[in-house]
Structure formats: structure tokens, C-alpha cells
Chains A and B, each alone.
Chain A
Amino acid sequence: MITAAAEERDYLHESYGIKSWLLTKDHKRIGLLYLHTITFFFFLGGIFATLIRVELLTPRGDLVTSDTYNKLFTLHGVMMIFFFMIPSIPASLGNFFLPIMIGAKDLAFPRINLLSWYLLLIGGCLAIYAMLAGGVDTGWTFYTPYSTSYSNGYVIATGLGIFIAGFSSILTGLNFIVTVHRMRAPGMTWFRLPLFVWSNYATALIQVLGTPVIAITMVLLVCERVLHIGIFDPARGGDPVLFQHLFWFYSHPAVYIMVLPGMGVISELISTFSRKPVFGYKFVAFSSVAIAVLGFLVWGHHMFVSGQSVYAALVFSFLSYFVAIPSAIKVFNWTATLYKGSISYATPMLYAFGFIGLFTIGGLTGLFVASLGVDVHVHDTYFVIAHFHYIMVGGTMMAYLGGLHYWWPKMTGRMYPEGFAKLSALTIFLGFNLTFFPQFILGYLGMPRRYHNYPDEFQVLHVMSTAGASVLAVGYLMPLIYFMWSLRYGKIAGPNPWGATGLEWQTSSPPPAHNFDETPIVTHDAYDYAALEAAKVG
């Protein structure tokens, strides 16, 4: 804890006691509540991941039974996707920084913001109840009719948990959209917004437009399971493929809910640590919105072998390539931003480098799975697993950690130990690649997903992957330790340790309860280092 010497009362010391946190309407405190919650869910999901990897060391299922294994990968998916990845950056870092970055005192609806956190918590508790009561074994995709008629797991509790967490996500998105439209400080025009705000805005669009569809899908799933209403039941004329359409209508865009905020973080990091405006600002900004919109047109590429008509497959494959373009634009623009910059190797920047590299691999392998002929072979194999982990872990997780390191001094007022942080970034990068790169090969060789036992010839690659996972686990534990250490022993950070331009760096660290002593007036574009320098000199 920071000593009482702080002159001004910052948001951490504005009031005290557990009640002042649980009933807070301060977006910064709610951001921290989210941060703790999702960290818990991350490590919970991580434990499942570890068990999965240990089980897969040998071709025979000798550590846990098949049923347990199936529950492990289901819970890993459910925890990581619905309770960690989706809320991760927007609800924690976004919540904390989006209002500050646009010069607002708070989000438009602070009470709804707090409600969102409680909804996530309730949803998470339901999922944990399902886990403790006996688990759920449908896979995070809940495909019917397995989930409705055959599974013995706690599908209903998990489904309701996701339903409720979905409302948390919807309300966060709604709050962000209204805030960006109505709460910007004077002079903060759309094209002066930091790119982190743009990408969170685009994310919010997806949350608002997509999440209701997974909500109704979960309602139908639960109704089907409880009341046997037959909506997806072939025996009554229902169509299980309809479930897949409804599911992926949300769950494909959900991938962009997870990665877009990460892209926003990377734009901030690249700019700050090269001391230059992001190359092609408008292209990067609009590509976020383009990804959000185009992301809704491609869901059928998860269903190329599902019994969907070949013509629909054709349409979805074609559209899928359109969404590749804005992602490529971002990568090229970030790389170009480095050109003639003043590049610092601070820890957040290392994560940014890691993100660009891994996201590039993840994105390019996405072209493989979007290609109809190739997807038939690699669909539902480890190739797909490797692909989306390169996006989710190599992408979002890297960006999340990068962002956390970048804004940690602002949130807590303290610096973390730089050497330790660099070591952890390196460990995570190496561990990640060792874990997931072999899975591309495994997948192409034909190793199917969700297999408890596997043929002997795949063992070598699985062992490599498990070895990587243990490195990765160590890498993830390190920040947990040194971040806690820094709260007490870290160097005092000062308002702007990185020399960055954003509004969040113009206020004190940690920020005061209402973010700014007086409403800021914005006169420059985002990332305008030259103007900042000129002002300093003048």
C-alpha cells in the first residue's frame, strides 16, 4: 500500500473499507475489481490447461479418465473464453483507462458498470458451481444434440453462467459506446482519440450486436435440455446445424471481442516506445471498425464440414478473406511506425514485439483454415488449436500483459522491477512458441482435437508441447509475484514514467477520484510527440 504521504487523495485512498469497493461506482475501482476477478479465472483456466498438457504426455490416458479429460478441456475453454478473454482487456484496462483517455470523469452509466461486474461474478460462480458439482463435458461449443440429450454434465448451470456473463459483456459494451459518443472532453474529436479507444469502441459494437444471440442460443439450449422442446432435435424435425449457426454468429465475432482491444493496446505501446504517432492512424482506426463489421459475415467458416450447403461454405470462405485485410493493415502500420523511431526496449515494448510476431503467425495460419479445400483437412485438428492459441494467447494475452505493464505505474503509482519483467516476457515468448508451434504440425498430420488417447506416432510433438507449457506456466507466475512485490517496494512512478502523450499520463499516478482536477481541453492529435516537445521547449 502506498504510504499516507500522498498529497492528493487518489482513487485508492478516496475512501476506505470493503464496502467502499463493493459498492463503488468509480470506473477505476471497478476496473481493479475486474482485474482481480479475471486473474482468478485465468489461473483457474490455467490449472485445467496444465492438467490437459500433463495428461497428453503419453498416448494412453493414464492420468485421468476420459470423462475427466473431457471436463478439463471444456472447463478450460469456458473459463478462458467467457470469463477471462472476453472481459479481459475491455473490462479491466478499458474500464480503467477509456474514460481517462477521452477526458471524462467516468463512464456514462457507473451503476450499470458495477452491475456488469456483479453479473460476471454471478455467471462465474454458476460456472464454478457446475465445475464443483461434477463438471460439464460438452466442449465450450455445446454442440447439440450432445449437449441437449446425451451429456451427463452440468450443462444448464454452465449455460446460465454464460448467459449471465453475456449480459455483463453487453452492458460493458453499451456503456463504452455511449461514453465514447457522449462523454469526450472538449477538443477530443474522433480523430484525436487514442487508438485504444477506437478498438474498444469497435469491440463494444460487437458485444452489443453479437452477445444477445449467444444469450438466446443459451436460452434455447437450456429449454431444450430441460423441457425437450425439440428446437435442435432431429427427431422432431429440428436441425442441429441451426444451433451451430446461432452459436458461431456470436462466437466468431467473439474472437474479435477478444483480440481487438489487444490490438488497441499494441497501438499505444508501439507509439509510446518509439515516440512517434502510429503510422497511418486513420487506417488503423478504421480497420478496427472494419474488423468489427466484417467479423459478423464470416461465421460459417467454422462449419465447412458440418453439413452446411456447399454454396453457403463458398460465401463464407470468400467473406473470410475480407476480414484478413484490415488485420494485415494493422500489422504493416505497426511495423512502419518503428521506422525512424526512438525505440525503447522497455518490457511493454517486448510484449508488443511478441504480439506482432505471434499475431502475424496466427493471422497467416488463419488463411489456411479459411481456404475451403485445406480446412476440410485441418478442421477440428490441432492445427486449429494452434491457430487460435496464436491469436488468443500469442495475441491477446501478450497485449494484455503488455498493457498491464504499461499502465501498472498509472494504476498503482509504483514501478515493477524491470529486469524480472523482461525475463518473464522472454520466458512467456519462448514457452508459448514451444507449446503451440508443434501443434501446427500435429494438426496437419491429422491429430484430432479433444482426444484423450492418441496414436503413438504423435507423442514426440505432444511431449514438446507439454515441455513448452511448463515453461509458459513459470512465465505466467512471475508477473503475479513481482506485481505484488511492487505494490510495497516498487519505485514511485511519477505521473508519466514513459514520456507518453495520452491524457491518462497528464494526471497524477494513481489518478484522483474524478480523474482530472479540471476537465482537460484537447488541442493536439493523439501521439503528437513533436508538438509536445515544442510545447515543452516553448
Chain B
Amino acid sequence: MGSELPLFPVQASTVAASVDHLVYYLLAVAIFFSVGIFLSIFYFAVRYRRRSEFEVPANVHGGMTLEIAWTVIPFGLTMIMFVWGASTFFRMSRPPDDAPQVYVIGKQWMWKMQHMEGQREINELHLPLGQAVKLTMTSEDVIHDFFVPAFRTKADVLPGRYTTTWFQPTKPGKYHLFCSQYCGTNHSQMIGWIYVMEPQDYQAWLSGGTGGSLASSGEKLFQDLACANCHHLNDQGRCPNLRNLYGSQVSLTDGTHVLFDEGYIRESILNPSAKIVAGYQPIMPTFQGLVTEENVLQLIEYIKTLTPKPGPQPAGAGKSAQSKKLSKQ
């Protein structure tokens, strides 16, 4: 970046280029119309300037053809913007199925990142080049927002629920991370750096970490909190067997279904009676206040390992294609 004044930020993710392309189109339309308007005003103002105090020009009341033209043509142009923008947005919204996950917790005024392998970082995030990464994010207090200009990505981080964003870095380097939802006194210091590393450097960085993986911490918690007393990992327990559930549809007592995903696991830990699985009683106590957001993430990661990864076969698990019914006979 340095001394010269750039007009466009670095493109460092797969999405960045497509956002910029859409911006070029928007710029072209904007420049065309604004220059057109400026020149017409300028020309008319000079050409038809008032030459005598008493002149009264003829009335011109309007023209239907013109009105229709300047209604329909801009509308067509904007519909291109809509479709193009929406398709880009959908790409940004759907992480690839196989993207590894990083958990992000925002709190006033810092970012806590947790890699699945167990590495934790504060206000920094190391990523391997070329690998799509999915972030699952929550906040411990107010609304924050995870914004990486070089990736053209941004998502609010809310208390009480998970939000997701993803990106696939395309260029090694060090990029700004900003909190872009106003969050209090030190909002402007809730910033950090994203490091995009060559894969081998990333591996080296990873192996420098300490402590067990998220899932193993979660397994330990699962035992410590006595979850396993009811949630037997066979079908004999008083509570649902958590094996092979992640990513499937679960039927509830009220006849509806819910996707067994991170959000549902989180809700079930903190507010267990909200959505009871069909065939079970609402006997689970809430763990609100007993576990931190980080503990919840560890438990989620452990519960996810109870569902084997689908492996190389297509039609990835985790999507509704694989719909299992769960109810106690």
C-alpha cells in the first residue's frame, strides 16, 4: 500500500475479483449517467441562458416516449445489477461443503479465533493460501462485525446465535481485519490482521501450537459436565444418541423438523427445552452460565466428530439430502 494512493483495495480472495467486476459495471453505468446529466445541464444552461428580462419561452409539457424510455432503460440496467449482485451474494453466503472451520468469538474489544486443531489466536488469524475456510462466529456481548476489505467480506457477529462467513485466500500477505459494527468505546481498536501463508508455512505454524484440538477439549468437557450420563452413545440413554446426527434433519415433539447444526446444538445446550427431539422428555437442565461460548464451541466440535465425515463421495453430508428421522421406538 505505502505512499501511493490506491483506488481499489488489494484483491486477495476468490470473491474479491467478482465483487470488483460488478463494481466496474456499476461505475460504468454511474459515470455514463452522471456525465450525461452534467453535460446536458451545462449545455442547456449556456445555450438557453436568459437573454432579456422579459422573454417567456414556449411551454413544453412533456413527451410520453421520453418518459417511457427513461423509465424502462434504467430499470433494465438496475435489474442487471440486482441479478449480478444477488448471484455474487449467494456465492458469498454458501461456504463450500468441505471447507474447514474456524471459530470466531467477538467481545468488547477483541477477536478470539479458534482453529479446529486447537490453536487459539487473539486479533490474528493465520490462513493457508488457496484453502476455503468457513468462519462460525458469535459474540459474547454486543453486535460486532468481521470485515476483511481485501477479501470483500463482511458479516455481523451477534450475541446469542451463530453467523457464518467464508473466504478462499488467493494471495499471500497480511491484511486488515476490522470490526465494522459499532460496538462501544474502543470500537476502532477492535482490529487485527489476517495472515495468508503458503500451505507449507501454515503447516509449520500449526504444528507450533500447543494444547489438544477443539474436539478433544470438547470430549473432555462432555465427560466433565456428565453429558454422557444421559446422552449414551448407543440408543439406550434417556437422551438422544448424538452419533450420526450432525447435518441431518431431526423430528421434534411438535411435529416439525430442525437441522441438527451448530445453531441447534448451541440452543440445546443453553436452552434445552426449546426444541425437544420427538420421543424424549424435556429433562435436560440448561447449561446457561455454566459454560462459556468457547466451551460451547468445543462441545459442538466434539459432537460433530461423532458423525463421521462423508469422505470423498459426493452429495456431502450436512445437507438436507441426507435426512434421517430420529425417534425412540
- A-side interface residues toward B, CB under 8 Å? 61, 66-67, 70, 137-139, 141, 143, 145-146, 149-151, 234-235, 237, 240-241, 274-277, 279-283, 304-307, 310, 313-314, 317-318, 321, 324-325, 328-329, 331-333, 335-336, 338-345, 353, 356-357, 360-361, 364-365, 367-368, 370-377, 379-381, 441, 444-446, 448-455, 457, 460-461, 528-530, 532-533
Contact = CB atoms under 8 A, between A and B. Distances in A.
A372 B89 contact: yes
Contacts of B50: 275, 342-345
Nearest to A277: B59
A318 to B, nearest CB: 6
Contact of B37 (A151, A360, A377): A360
A283 B187 CA distance: 46
Interface of B: 1-2, 5-9, 18-19, 22-23, 26, 29-30, 33-34, 37-38, 40-41, 44-45, 48-51, 55-63, 66-67, 70-71, 74-75, 78-79, 81-82, 84-90, 92-93, 108, 141-143, 145, 147, 149-150, 152-156, 158-161, 163, 176, 178-189, 271, 288
B30 A364 contact: yes
A375 B155 CA distance: 11
Given A143-B182, A305-B145, A335-B37, A450 B61 contact: no
A342 B48 contact: yes
A310 B87 CA distance: 11
Contacts of B41: 335, 338, 353, 356-357
A315 B182 CA distance: 26
Contacts, number: 280
Contact of A139 (B79, B145, B182): B182
A449 B86 contact: no
Contacts of B185: 66-67, 70, 137
Given A146-B182, A307-B156, A279 B92 contact: no
B253 to A, nearest CB: 18
B181 A70 contact: no
Most chain A CB atoms below 10 A, which of B61, B85, B87: B85
A450 to B, nearest CB: 5
Q: Is the interface of A mostly helix, strand, loop or mixed?
A: helix
Contacts of B44: 335, 338-339, 341, 343
A377 B58 contact: no
Contact of A446 (B58, B81, B176): B176
A324 B74 contact: yes
Nearest to B274: A237
B30 to A, nearest CB: 4
Given A380-B181, A446-B149, A457-B1, A283 B30 contact: no
Contact of A150 (B60, B87, B108, B180): B108
A305 B152 CA distance: 12
A367 B30 contact: yes
Nearest to A73: B182
A379 B86 contact: no
Contacts of A280: 61-63, 66-67
List the 9 shortest-distance A-B pairs measured between CB atoms, nearest first: A446-B149, A234-B160, A373-B88, A371-B85, A372-B89, A338-B44, A280-B62, A451-B188, A364-B30
Nearest to A318: B82
Nearest to A450: B182
Q: Is the interface of B mostly helix, strand, loop or mixed?
A: mixed
Contacts of B5: 460-461
A361 to B, nearest CB: 6
A371 B188 contact: no
B59 A528 contact: yes
Contacts of B150: 446
Contacts of B19: 373-374, 376-377
B59 A151 contact: no
Nearest to A337: B60
Contacts of A307: 155-156, 158, 161, 163
A45 B128 CA distance: 47
B154 A305 contact: yes
Contacts of A364: 29-30, 33-34
Given A372-B89, A449-B180, A237 B271 contact: yes
Contacts of A241: 158
A374 B48 contact: no
Given A234-B160, A379-B180, A454-B188, 7 more contacts: A66-B189, A141-B182, A329-B71, A441-B7, A446-B150, A451-B188, A530-B56
B187 A70 contact: yes
Contacts of A139: 182
Most chain A CB atoms below 10 A, which of B58, B179, B181: B181
B296 to A, nearest CB: 14
A328 B74 contact: yes
Contact of A372 (B26, B78, B88): B88
Nearest to A321: B78
Contacts of B189: 66, 453
Contact of B89 (A61, A66, A282, A310): A310
Contact of A367 (B6, B29, B55): B29
Contacts of B93: 310
Nearest to A361: B34
Given A307-B158, A376-B154, A457 B143 contact: no
B62 A66 contact: no
A394 B5 CA distance: 25
18 contacts: A70-B182, A145-B141, A276-B59, A280-B63, A335-B40, A336-B66, A339-B44, A342-B48, A344-B49, A357-B37, A367-B26, A367-B30, A372-B86, A376-B92, A377-B152, A446-B150, A461-B5, A532-B56
